[in-house]
Structure 1
Amino acid sequence: MTKPVVLVTSATGRIGKELVARLSQAGEFTVRACYHSESKVADLKAVGADETVFFDLNDAATWDAALQGVSAIYSASLDPMLEGHLNFCKELGNRTDSIKHVVRVSCMGADTNTASYEADQHSSREGASIPLMLQHYWWGEKALIEAGLNVTVLRNNFFMNHLLKTDCDNIAQEGWFTNPLGKARNSFVATRDIAEAAAVVLTEGPDRHSNKFYDITGPQPQTMAEIAADLGRAMDKDIEYRPQSMESFEADFGATRAEFFEYLVNGFYCRCSPDFYNLTGHKPTSYYDYLTTKGASGETGLEELWQGNLWKKGEDAMKEAAAVKS
């Protein structure tokens, strides 16, 4: 019997690699993994991809080969790729006869269709709006829904692997990191857990999960001092958290990212959701366990900390995306 084909976009990313490995191990799909750099193909094959395909959200000429014979899609894209994703959704809307299910990675707070959500109202500070990055995540969901697809959305808390990447040099060389989060508690989520949830949802299919929206969080909300203690224990060295002002953070990374971090400081990402447990039957991964144990793709979180990073000090990675209109 021929297996259905699942297309894994962003397959070379942290979640994507984990998902490819998990789907391969489950054996229910032919796993087609997308790459943007030829140098990543061997890695994708190593974690279990049955097929690999070049794919670029900004180049429609690459879409047909990627989508040939596909019945399910894992959809993920970096924030600066928003416009490409919106255009890709229009193409998917022309293929609803063959594409039976799309699982989209999103973010907690992209709640327009599941809650009373006023984009110009931020409940913790008068006059502030819902962060633009969260509005973008909603646009990414909405484009798939309006295309007439069976959609499941994983709305995730802030990723553990993104938390300290901007300070990895300081951590390795001097033993400290900085950001404005301070004593605010956030239930940071392990990317391997997002991949596990996606694998469950794809395998169980649209009959069970279409038009469902799951908040995926970590098992406990933690302060930066607690994060520093976990990292230090994992590295067997003293790690110091140094508070940073929001003004300094905005100067480093731009207004759009600073607006999102203010959302974290204001407590909106503190809560722990039961959705991961309800999908998988077990608790989410703690930060310390994420750092010190291997995921399905064979890496620990600590090994992953030193790998590539979108956010670089002195650069506003969201500058172009901030100008995109829904």
Structure 2
Amino acid sequence: MKQNFTVRHGALDGVETFLSVARYRSFRRAAAALGVTPSAVSQSVRTLEARIGAALLTRTTRSVGLTEAGQRFLDRAGPAFDELVAASEAARDLGQRPTGLLRLAVPRSVVPLILEPVIASFCEAYPEIELEIAASDEMVDIAARGFDAGIRLGELIAADMIVVRLTPPFPFHVVGSPDYLRGHKPPARVEDLRDHACLRLRRWNGSIAPWTFAVGNDVIEAAVSGPLIAHDYPTLLGAAMQGLGLAQVPGPIAEAAIADGRLQALLTSQAIMTPGVFLYHSGKRQMLPKLRAFIDHMKAPRRMAAEGG
């Protein structure tokens, strides 16, 4: 059987007009409510009746009534049309003000680094937004999985995404605790890492991430070994602070521990730089006010810091 691949037009044509006539029991009052002429109302109802194949209204010079078919149509179409109107209003509401469910896909390491400092203030500023954070290091197709946006390192974002910078570029540091380094000579070269316990990261796809360094104009990868494999950077950072071994982690999550002496940065002259952390989404046309509010809120702390606020 030949399939019809065209979209059927006009399935709802005349329905609102019929419901208005049925409500007012008057073509003239229905026309006034709809802002059209009585003749336009009459024509719209006749077209609907012809498409359905049954008379829906009885008309006299004094009154308008419902046929049995019209009553059945009213009983079913009335509530359905009200649901359509409510659905349109709900969608319009999402498009006009910050409200609704905001779903973000983020790596685990980004949560303490980027999100924790602003979650409470954002939820307080926008009480009509429900914020859902899906923390996973898996590379997520945000459109296919129903996310409003994602957060990633810049080099991991697809080229067709709209990106918003959340952090400046930063290095990946090799760090070790004072306790660990008291029993092990600090590495002076990348090659020295073979003599150290190196804590490693397993990527979302199952592979072990090599340690990466900048040596002159070249980027080199070092295959290291050690007693622990973790699936996120905060776990590696915690293990390094406990003296289990060395870890290579994003600079921002190690800054506080380096500053207060719980960790020491090593091989700093060969630290590789990353573009930074970015929020990404599918395009400006699809950006709803809830996402715009989140982006503006995320930018505010950096703007205040830059202004000395």
TM interval, short-chain normalised:
under 0.3
- The higher relative CO (CA closer than 8 Å, separation ≥ 6) is in 2
Question: Normalized per residue, which structure has more strand?
Answer: 2
